[in-house]
Every structure is written in C-alpha cells, then in structure tokens.
Chains A and B, each alone.
Chain A
Amino acid sequence: EAQVTQNPRYLITVTGKKLTVTCSQNMNHEYMSWYRQDPGLGLRQIYYSMNVEVTDKGDVPEGYKVSRKEKRNFPLILESPSPNQTSLYFCASRMGQDNSPLHFGNGTRLTVT
C-alpha cells in the first residue's frame, strides 16, 4: 500500500531534549515536505526537499533541521525543543515538479513541556 509513515504518533518531551520525528514514503517520490498545524493558522511549511541531498527552508524553519540522505526518508530534527514547538506535525510527499497532489502521513502530535 502506498503510504507516508510518520513515527511516533504522539510524543511528549521536555525543553531542550533533542528529538527526531521520522518520515518514510514507499512511492519513490522526489519531493518531501514537513508542515506544522496550529489552530487558526492552518498548515505552515517547515522544510522541504526536492530530492536526495537537496533541502530548502519553508516558511517556519527556525528551530528545526532536516536531512535527505535517502529518497524514501526525511526525518525532522529538533535539536533543542521549546514549548512553542508544541504542535501537530505532518510529513508529505509527491512526485517532482508536476504539481501532483501531496500524500500526507497521519501526523505526529508533539508536546514540549
């Protein structure tokens, strides 16, 4: 089954403790992206990647890192999480620059205390 898999689904952590949210897709998509969803703000893009070893900042990249060492994986790294990063995070992927629709993971709800 074609899917985008995020782990974990829920994560509670404390300020400053590094964490990684994994994202993997099995559709051989070139493009992958991370979004955060906050009430009243919709989805905002954090980082995206056009292909392996190619990453770019989205609208709200501060406090986040990503890597794209393999085509299928696009982990989101919070080196020193802060409470304002408490949010619902979505990973998404699609084919390259053909405006094909995004396929979303089921989300990771992160709470930073």
Chain B
Amino acid sequence: AQSVTQPDIHITVSEGASLELRCNYSYGATPYLFWYVQSPGQGLQLLLKYFSGDTLVQGIKGFEAEFKRSQSSFNLRKPSVHWSDAAEYFCAVEAYNTDKLIFGTGTRLQVFP
C-alpha cells in the first residue's frame, strides 16, 4: 500500500534562510506527487505537483521540489524563506489511476524575523 512520511513535525527557520522539507513515499511505481500548504484557518492550497518528466518542479510562491526515484523522496525547497511562509505543509501521493490521494502528517513551519 502506498504511504507518505514527513519525518519533521515542526521546523523553525529564520527569515531569509533556506528551507528544505522532507517527504518520503512508499509505492511500487512512480506515483503522482503533490505539495500542499495550509495557512491558519484556511483550506489546503496546491504548491506544486510532479507527474513525469523533469524531476525538478517549480511551484508557486518561489517553492520547488525534486523527485528522486532512488531515494523515494520528493523534498520541498525554498532558497529564502519569508515570514508569510509560516504554515503547515503537506506532502501527498496518488497512485496512478486510483483517485486515492494519501497525505503525510504534515510539517509545521515557523519563521522567526
């Protein structure tokens, strides 16, 4: 069965610092991969997605993620974090042709000025 692991429950960074949020998945083939962000009191918003092709994908708000098949990872990165990036981030995986999206448990990002 497919699963998603986000090993970091809570991350704190200073504004302007770089960021990497980890995501590992378990699935027999290449899944569809997503990163969503949830601001306080809001629903989830798609940051970026990977289906196939270039393994480095660009998303909104200056985020990018890299798919590494050998490590079963899809880590989210941002070169310079802004205070408005403080939120909870969810990695999600969907097996091909299943319409079943599995979410990780989330990583809460705190940004200090």
- Cβ-defined contact, B99 with A50, below 8 A: yes
Pick from B32, B51, B99, B104: contact of A42, CB under 8 Å = B104
Pick from A43, A45, A101, A106: contact of B46, CB under 8 Å = A101
Chain A binding site: helix, strand, loop or mixed by DSSP? Answer: strand
Among B13-21, B36-44, B62-70, B73-81, the one that faces the other chain is B36-44
Which residues in chain B, 29-56, are within 8 Å of chain A measured between CB atoms?
Answer: 32, 34, 36, 41-46, 49, 51
Which residues in chain A, 91-113, are within 8 Å of chain B measured between CB atoms?
Answer: 92, 97, 99, 101-102, 104-107
- Per-residue CB proximity of A56-73 to B under 8 Å, as 1/0? 001000000000000000
Q: How far is the CA of A99 from the CA of B100 in the complex (A)?
A: 10
User: Which chain A positions have C-beta within 8 A of B71?
Assistant: none
Pick from B9, B44, B104: contact of A104, CB under 8 Å = B44
Q: Count A-B pairs with CB separation below 8 Å.
A: 49
Q: Which residue of A lies closest to B45 (CB)?
A: A104
Q: Which residue of B lies closest to A50 (CB)?
A: B99
User: Which chain A positions have C-beta within 8 A of B36?
Assistant: 102
User: Which chain B positions have C-beta within 8 A of A101?
Assistant: 34, 46, 49
A contacts, CB < 8 Å to B: 4, 31, 33, 35, 40-45, 48, 50, 58, 90, 92, 97, 99, 101-102, 104-107
9 A–B contact pairs at CB < 8 A?
A42-B6, A42-B103, A43-B44, A43-B103, A50-B99, A92-B44, A97-B97, A101-B34, A104-B43
